[in-house]
Amino acid sequence: MAPVRVRHPKGIATLQLDIDALTVQDLQQNIFTLSEILPSQQELRFGYPPRTLTLVPELPLSSLGLQAGDQIIVNHKVPTATSTNPPAPTPASRPLAPAPAPARQTAAPQSTGPASVPTSAGVLVHRVVPDDNSCLFSSIALVFEQDITKAQRMRQSKWSDRTLFRKWVDVTVSCGSRRRWYPSDLDTYNEAILGAPRDTYITTILKPSTWGGAIELGILAKHFNTEIVSIDVETGRIDRFSPSAQGTDYRCIVVYSGIHYDAATLAPMEGAPDEWHQSIFPITSADTSDPVLEAVTKLATILRERKAFTNTATFELKCEQCGKGLKGEKDARAHAQETGHVRFGEY
């Protein structure tokens, strides 16, 4: 059996699949059980960058190229303009279980799909990014570059011929072909804060397998001279990462589930193309009466009701490098410090 993670509008789950024995239809039925999205209405994406899978229900599941540890992103297909009702499932894609009652079929599109909140300026939308250890950088790339494939560039010590840490670089020292970048704000970015010597920290954070967090949000806020607001889904807590003590006139939003970051952007209308979304907002108020902060608080409430968060003190993890079982973020950090392992997966 191979564990495959499924990220769907109601949350995240892990399916144990016999890839060699099951069919695509079996996978769709499992996803239907999790998400209540009918097989005929499922859009499945896989890989990095995510690509939409062509689903032929009768084919073996192995035809999709899935492997243990992969993640599938599930979305609800946007209805076509020629039909106001969801299409009925075809015989080939009909669920193995009895079909839901018509009333439930009608309600499903309203309860699934990306979470969103209407505002006076448009619709604030939860933008899901891949769960691949680079989610923070993918979210920032989506916000500032409108392209999550540039996530790794967000990590790099050089970006567009400038260091990512250009706002706090003191000196550069050339050592052969290697170039080291030292932060000038030694009080803020000291070894105690970074959790490691600065050289070690910089080497580690550049690896695609390393998660980003509060330190990186602070650095990126300075780099882009934009306040980054992070909202915690489980608690509704808002953390602000400002580029300077004087603040800034603009902010962007990331959504934190406990182990994953996504972005939030403003669409002019439901279903608007990604390129129409606004991702950076003027700051109109210093407190939570700011319309964007009010909307993102409501967005977090919707996600919390969908159970789209993980309690990091109690969730179960497995080290993907040695297989050791761990409980909570505290165990994961201790294991990483003891072994140097940084790839963890949720059971």
Do both 71 and 128 map to the same domain? Answer: no
pLDDT in tens, 33-51: 888 888 878 888 887 667 7
Residue 173, in any domain of the structure: no
**pLDDT over 90 for what percent of the chain?**
23
Highest mean predicted confidence (pLDDT) among 164-178, 181-195, 286-300: 286-300
Do both 334 and 237 map to the same domain? Answer: no
On the question of pLDDT at 279 being above 50, the answer is yes
**82: confidence class by pLDDT, cuts 50, 70, 90:** very low
E strand map for the chain: 2-8, 11-17, 42-46, 51-52, 71-76, 116-119, 122-127, 158-159, 162-163, 169-175, 178-183, 227-232, 238-241, 250-256, 261-267, 281-282, 316-319, 325-327, 344-346
Question: What integer pLDDT is reported at residue 140 of this predicted model?
Answer: 94
User: Which is more confident, 186 or 323?
Assistant: 323
Do both 42 and 66 map to the same domain? Answer: yes
Give the three-class secondary structure for 29.
helix
Do both 333 and 233 map to the same domain? Answer: no
Residues 70/5, Cβ–Cβ less than 8 Å:
yes
Structure tokens at 215: 């330190």
Residue 197, in any domain of the structure: no
Residue 196, in any domain of the structure: no
Structure tokens at 275: 């390129």
**88: confidence class by pLDDT, cuts 50, 70, 90:** very low
pTM above 0.95, yes or no: no
Question: What integer pLDDT is reported at residue 98 of this predicted model?
Answer: 32
Query: What is the set of active-site residues?
Result: 132, 135, 260, 341
Highest mean predicted confidence (pLDDT) among 34-38, 76-80, 179-183, 279-283: 279-283
Residue 166, in any domain of the structure: no
Do both 218 and 70 map to the same domain? Answer: no
**317: confidence class by pLDDT, cuts 50, 70, 90:** confident
Question: What integer pLDDT is reported at residue 65 of this predicted model?
Answer: 84
Do both 286 and 144 map to the same domain? Answer: yes
Query: Count of domains in the chain?
Result: 3
Cα 116 to Cα 296: distance, rounded to the nearest angstrom: 9
Lowest mean pLDDT among 81-85, 120-124, 131-135, 306-310: 81-85
Question: What integer pLDDT is reported at residue 117 of this predicted model?
Answer: 95
Cα 151 to Cα 198: distance, rounded to the nearest angstrom: 22
On the question of pLDDT at 184 being above 50, the answer is no
Do both 211 and 334 map to the same domain? Answer: no
Question: What integer pLDDT is reported at residue 185 of this predicted model?
Answer: 57
Do both 218 and 294 map to the same domain? Answer: yes
Cα 183 to Cα 198: distance, rounded to the nearest angstrom: 8
On the question of pLDDT at 26 being above 50, the answer is yes
Residue 130, in any domain of the structure: yes
Q: On the CB side of 203, how many CA atoms lie within 13 Å of its CA?
A: 9
Residue 99, in any domain of the structure: yes
Do both 27 and 128 map to the same domain? Answer: no
Question: What integer pLDDT is reported at residue 136 of this predicted model?
Answer: 93
Residue 276, in any domain of the structure: yes
* Mean per-residue pLDDT, 76-102: 40
On the question of pLDDT at 79 being above 70, the answer is no
Do both 68 and 11 map to the same domain? Answer: yes
**302: confidence class by pLDDT, cuts 50, 70, 90:** very high
E strand map for 147-248: 158-159, 162-163, 169-175, 178-183, 227-232, 238-241
Structure tokens at 129: 């990014």
Ramachandran angles phi, psi of 151, nearest 5°: -60, -45
On the question of pLDDT at 250 being above 90, the answer is yes
Highest mean predicted confidence (pLDDT) among 32-36, 201-205, 292-296: 292-296
Domain containing residue 81: CATH number: 3.10.20.90
Residues 262/129, Cβ–Cβ less than 8 Å:
yes
Residue 11, in any domain of the structure: yes
- Where does a domain end: 46, 80, 113? 113
Question: What integer pLDDT is reported at residue 67 of this predicted model?
Answer: 84
pLDDT in tens, 60-78: 888 888 888 888 888 887 5
Question: What integer pLDDT is reported at residue 84 of this predicted model?
Answer: 37
Domain containing residue 147: CATH number: 3.90.70.80
- Write the CB contacts of 211 (distance below 8 Å, at least 6 apart in sequence): 133, 135, 136, 342
* Mean per-residue pLDDT, 149-175: 49
Do both 108 and 126 map to the same domain? Answer: no
Do both 100 and 225 map to the same domain? Answer: no
Question: What integer pLDDT is reported at residue 311 of this predicted model?
Answer: 73
Question: What integer pLDDT is reported at residue 180 of this predicted model?
Answer: 38
Q: Which residues span the domain enclosing 321?
A: 316-346
* Mean per-residue pLDDT, 122-151: 91
**222: confidence class by pLDDT, cuts 50, 70, 90:** confident
